[in-house]
Amino acid sequence: MSLHPKFSKPPSSQILLYASTDGRQKIEVMLENETVWLSQDQMSQLFGRDQSVISRHIKNAYTEGELQEKSTMQNMHNANSDKPVAYYNLDVIISVGYRVKSVRGTQFRIWATQQLKEYLIKGFVMNDERLAEGKIVSGVSYFDELLQRVRAIRASEKNLYQKVRDIFATSTPFF
């Protein structure tokens, strides 16, 4: 059963299905312009809190200057409604996830903090399963992008080693 009706969306967007680790929570997530979009209702389902709580946290994020409404919210038409529905991008979802007090909010913070910690320590974070699937998202193959970046790093390493060899070659008479 779908938790959210299909919505009218630009052809460039995709619908992804988010499922909780226990498989009981499923939410359709719209992916567009390399970010995900959720309504307040979907966020309330995601974090297990009333929609009024989600609304308050969103309002506070805007009021405190953490986020700008213009760049993080879009009104989109829903196939089952005449009125547009406000959808919020990943920046808002993360902000709400760090503000909301619930079991699912805590699970989200643990996951997000692990991702951030891995990035800060290693310099990268990888979703092995997603890369292995090789899905093209919003017209982009991130696996191909990763390959290009690794090749660029390897090429710069070769240049660095060549420069070190050149330095040793020119300094040999001095030793």
Inside any domain, residue 8? no
> What is the helix (H) or strand (E) element at residue 32, kind and residue range?
strand 26-32
3 Cβ neighbours under 8 A, 6+ residues apart: 26, 27, 28, 42, 45
pLDDT in tens, 117-160: 999 999 888 877 777 777 666 666 777 888 888 888 888 888 77
Same domain, 131 and 117: no
Q: Which domain holds residue 141?
A: 126-175
Per the structure, the count of domains in the chain is: 2
Residue ranges in 100-141 assigned as alpha helix (H): 103-122, 128-133
Average pLDDT, the chain: 81
Against a cut of 0.85, is the pTM above it?
A: no
Inside any domain, residue 5? no
Kindly state the tokens that stand for 83: 């009125």
Same domain, 116 and 147: no
Same domain, 116 and 146: no
pLDDT in tens, 88-116: 999 999 999 999 999 888 988 988 899 89
Same domain, 19 and 92: yes
Q: Which of 123, 144, 161 is the last residue of a domain?
A: 123
